[in-house]
Structure 1
């Protein structure tokens, strides 16, 4: 709930800053058929809006964050921010018919907060950097309105109605407008209310609202990478960027191996890599005896130097009787995440005369990928026979060998 103490009453040497995230749009250019609005799409395993909120929460100069959302999106929003626990994030407010109305709705809620400054930002710009936020806030010490933008470096052409070049526009002084756009709160709130009172609507840029009120707007560089996610290609490039940043942040590469074997006995099928395969035998074990996932879990634990599956899930513990081995794999992946790393790749080889793995290979890869939170191209599943030799050749059991590559940040 909003504090009853206004920012100006708080003993602080710095101005108080609130952020309005504009997230009420229904843009469909980046959405797949039937998919959610782009601000709620997953971007490398995390909703776009959650990434944007986190970017501002990571900045110590931000006191409040308020998302303005579409009235139909409350469940999507709550699901997206479920993992964020920070009192600076206020409950969302429903937006209006257009951006101008949505911003006015957000400003009205912030009246009880009375911040010194307000930054208005597109929820689908998750790559905003702290230095750009700093430039906007610092400029507001002597300006009423500040626009985060990017200087135009390309040659600009103006076309006629038929698509032919009409003229070359000098690019000196040209900027691409972006967000955040920062304002002294009292002035931008008054400017928005004045437009609404005059019946003027459809202004798509808050800096334009300030201009219409007679305020000068200072341009500051927001960085060329502060992109707005609009098209499917934007999302593809964003995925690649985040993946690259994650790899650079985790230079400690570990490789672990795991091996497991389970006896076969009469039954109706086996579970391998989380997929049940009908068969005239089953694997004997305390849990579901998924030999492949046991080997893979051990491979991950080996890469972490964190014991083995028997240490964390001993067969003497009745809690794990008939348990799905995906639980063990999830726990191993959790241990990677808690250390700030990620699973980069895994590979499983099954050694069995039967059943045939080939028809189920893709389902197995998909099950592992989903459990580990990685893309399916980072999962390998193979199978081979033992050419009739040994216990596997005699169909007495199934063995599995697994390899896992883990990346961790450097410690110390």
Structure 2
């Protein structure tokens, strides 16, 4: 197999597919805290770390794409090229991506064209795809059919029963010698011919397409049921369930508001602290660091460092979440309690949950916030300050 530096992945992410629901194009829908596109790019990078990652996106999706790119590990982002803009059809989009690769100082020798909505391509499948492209010039993964297939007419009458052993359900990535598929796409465009996949374009150009072994797990996310199946698979890959606890206190000081979970709540006093003194966010941050045994907020953001004076605590919380994701894990749940006599937390609870969910990139139903008094006992009872306790549940790879 050739060195992976001469290989490019071309990920087609310009579709508007809505059968999966939720409004967003399915490649940007969240899947356990990370977009489908980010899951796909991460898997491809893990399979061939030195390959470049090229994407084709819809003209309206640049912000969604940029957010997905930020979800990738740093080493994957380094291999990510600027995205190309898609065309009126998938075929046009792929051609645009190929032309962008052709404009590189050193175009790839092999290109693997992959659907953004297939996040489960593993290293073994990618290795087979690369070898097949090198050996045959044009190749696609295929899965043998388990069911008998019938050909029917417009009235539903069976007209033929193809021999099942000769049939394959074709997947992506389809892999090609780069010059071969680029010229085949150019030829199809010049003749205004439309095909359903890149293998057909290579066939029309006169190239034999080799079918190599696909993978049933490499399914395409299309329906709501597909997303449920994908969620189950990802959870099964994160069997190491851990919990961490966090606790923080801050004294009241002069001010007109307190920050809780990134929400400014009007009050007769503020909270004293080196940063913005968001006692709730500090407790949650420590709980997450504790769950992955990665120190505490003070070791990552020491109060002796002047750069953190007055800093927004969202910086700290986002970093704790990044540390979980850098390890291939996810935050499964946050449960936190605020202890104070005043201000009243109930009217602000949902705003706080929404703020924290956005900062941590979690569904809001994974963030629980409670509040209690200390029955006028202790420093919180005397309204000298506030306290917060938090438990974080995370899942990591085994």
TM bucket normalised to smaller: 0.7 to 0.9
Distance in 2 separating the partners of 1:264 and 1:386: 16
Q: How far off its partner does 1:264 sit? A: 4.2
Distance in 1 separating the partners of 2:372 and 2:204: 72
Instruction: Say which SS state the counterpart of residue 179 (structure 1) adopts.
Output: coil
Q: How does 1:64-213 map to 2 (within 5 A)?
A: 64-71=52-59, 73=61, 77=65, 80-81=68-69, 89-110=80-101, 113=106, 115-156=108-149, 161=154, 166=158, 169=161, 171-197=164-190, 199-213=191-205
Aligned pair partner of 1:224 in 206, 210, 216: 216
Instruction: Say which SS state the counterpart of residue 382 (structure 1) adopts.
Output: strand
- Aligned match of 1:21: 11
Q: 1:205 to 1:311 in 2, by over 3 A?
A: closer
Q: Which of structures 1 and 2 has the bigger CA Rg?
A: 1
Q: How far off its partner does 1:223 sit? A: 0.8
Number of residue equivalences: 391
Aligned pair partner of 1:324 in 309, 312, 326: 312
Q: How far off its partner does 1:132 sit? A: 1.5
Instruction: Say which SS state the counterpart of residue 120 (structure 1) adopts.
Output: strand
Question: Scaled by the length of structure 1, what TM-score is found?
Answer: 0.76
Q: How does 1:254-273 map to 2 (within 5 A)?
A: 254-264=242-252, 268-273=256-261
Q: 1:185 to 1:381 in 2, by over 3 A?
A: closer
- Name the stretch that deviates more: 79-88 or 188-197: 79-88
- Aligned match of 1:53: 41
Q: 1:338 to 1:19 in 2, by over 3 A?
A: closer
Q: How far off its partner does 1:240 sit? A: 4.1
Aligned pair partner of 1:347 in 318, 328, 335: 335
Distance in 1 separating the partners of 2:278 and 2:80: 43
- Aligned match of 1:296: 284
RMSD: 3.8
- Aligned match of 2:355: 367
Distance in 1 separating the partners of 2:90 and 2:264: 51
Q: 1:138 to 1:286 in 2, by over 3 A?
A: closer
Aligned pair partner of 1:399 in 378, 387, 391: 387
Q: How far off its partner does 1:276 sit? A: 2.8
Instruction: Say which SS state the counterpart of residue 298 (structure 1) adopts.
Output: helix
Gaps of 5+ in 2: none
Q: 1:23 to 1:372 in 2, by over 3 A?
A: closer
Q: How far off its partner does 1:150 sit? A: 1.9
Q: How far off its partner does 1:299 sit? A: 3.2
Q: 1:40 to 1:58 in 2, by over 3 A?
A: same
Question: Scaled by the length of structure 2, what TM-score is found?
Answer: 0.78
Q: 1:268 to 1:185 in 2, by over 3 A?
A: closer
8 Å CA contact retained: 2:152, 2:160: no
Q: 1:46 to 1:318 in 2, by over 3 A?
A: same
Q: How far off its partner does 1:407 sit? A: 4.7
Q: 1:174 to 1:382 in 2, by over 3 A?
A: same
